[in-house]
């Protein structure tokens, strides 16, 4: 969680020197190569690999990187993107007809109020467009989750490596169309070593280490134990942005973070508490 949370500061460093869509393309290029030659293709249809790659590549990270390039602060981006679980719940209800539980509605309402607090305080560093872009990134992440859930029991590290093959072309095409070849060329030619290190870290830290450890934990411990630890991502994200980038932490940010994280806690932890309570107080016959 520390790696994933502090990565929002690393993204900020990267997009200072690279056009954001090109930087996202570099992320997936370094995730793909050379790992694709050492990891067997996961047992999933090409259509699912392509869908996940486009949703996570051009969708989640393309929108997220573009937003952090001047439209939202890295710390707040790390918080707003955590709305992903709620989009996942709503998409699952719409697509697979999973029933949305009352506690999930309560968690969604709290998180929505937290996002509303952020919207109320948009300024030069955090804009309405930035929040919309990050919410779009969270929605694409959720849609990618639905695709991944349709191909269970695959090696997640191999999955994210092979799906990177389908993330790179749309990101390069969008970079060419939106950012233009001169900006792409200047970024590749003039970027300093720290920017290239930030691009490599996207693959080595976040993909190779992050997904490998996450998959290892999920394979050995209950999902109810592991999944709630993702609540620490915005804690590390906002803390790192404050320490390294001097991002201010006024009271309204703590209020927004408290509301969003409370909603996430209800969504992640309520089933576990309910199960414990039911075990301790079984219904009388």
Could you report the per-residue pLDDT of 202-237, keeping only the tens digit for each? 989 988 888 778 777 766 776 656 666 777 888 888
CA dihedral 187, 66, 142, 136 (to 10 degrees): -160
Number of Cβ atoms within 10 Å of the Cβ of 5: 22
Average pLDDT, the chain: 86
In 3D, which of 171, 222, 183 has the Cα closest to residue 19?
Answer: 183
pLDDT of residue 108: 78
* Cα–Cα distance for residue pair 126/258, rounded to 1 Å: 18
Dist CA 204 CA 155 (whole Å): 17
Alpha-carbon distance of 223 to 218, in angstroms, equals 6
Q: According to DSSP H, which parts of the chain are helical?
A: 2-17, 20-32, 46-54, 62-68, 74-80, 84-95, 102-120, 128-149, 156-174, 181-190, 193-201, 212-220, 223-226, 232-245, 251-280
248: pLDDT strictly greater than 70: yes
**Diameter of the chain by CA atoms?**
75
Cα(110)–Cα(131) distance, integer angstroms:
17
Rounded to two decimals, what is the model's pTM?
Answer: 0.85
Residue 113 neighbours by CB distance under 10 Å: 15
d(CA 135, CA 132): 5
Ordered by start, the domain boundaries in the chain are 2-273
pLDDT in tens, 60-105: 999 999 999 989 999 889 888 888 877 887 887 888 777 777 877 7
């Amino acid at each position: 969680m520390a790696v994933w949370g502090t990565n929002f500061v690393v993204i900020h460093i990267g997009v200072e020197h690279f056009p954001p869509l090109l930087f996202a393309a570099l992320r997936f290029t370094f995730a793909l190569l050379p790992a694709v030659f050492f990891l067997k293709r996961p047992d999933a249809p090409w259509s699912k690999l392509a869908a996940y790659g486009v949703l996570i590549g051009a969708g989640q990270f393309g929108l997220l990187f573009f937003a952090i390039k001047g439209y939202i602060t890295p710390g707040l981006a790390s918080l707003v993107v955590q709305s992903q679980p709620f989009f996942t719940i709503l998409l699952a209800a719409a697509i697979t007809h999973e029933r949305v539980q009352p506690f999930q509605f309560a968690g969604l309402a709290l998180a929505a109020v937290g996002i509303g607090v952020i919207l109320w305080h948009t300024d030069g560093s955090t804009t309405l467009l930035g929040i919309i872009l990050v919410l779009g990134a969270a929605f694409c992440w959720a849609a990618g989750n639905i695709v991944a859930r349709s191909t269970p029991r695959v090696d997640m590290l191999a999955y994210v490596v092979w799906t990177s093959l389908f993330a790179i072309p749309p990101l390069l095409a969008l970079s060419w169309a939106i950012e233009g070849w001169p900006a792409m060329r200047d970024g590749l030619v003039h970027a300093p070593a720290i920017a290239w290190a930030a691009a490599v870290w996207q693959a080595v830290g976040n993909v190779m280490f992050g997904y490998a450890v996450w998959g290892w934990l999920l394979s050995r411990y209950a999902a109810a134990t592991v999944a709630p630890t993702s609540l620490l991502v915005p804690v590390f994200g906002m803390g790192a942005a404050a320490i390294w980038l001097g991002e201010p932490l006024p009271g309204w940010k703590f209020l927004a973070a408290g509301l969003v994280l409370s909603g996430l806690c209800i969504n992640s932890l309520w089933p576990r508490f309910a199960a414990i309570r039911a075990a301790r107080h079984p219904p009388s016959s």
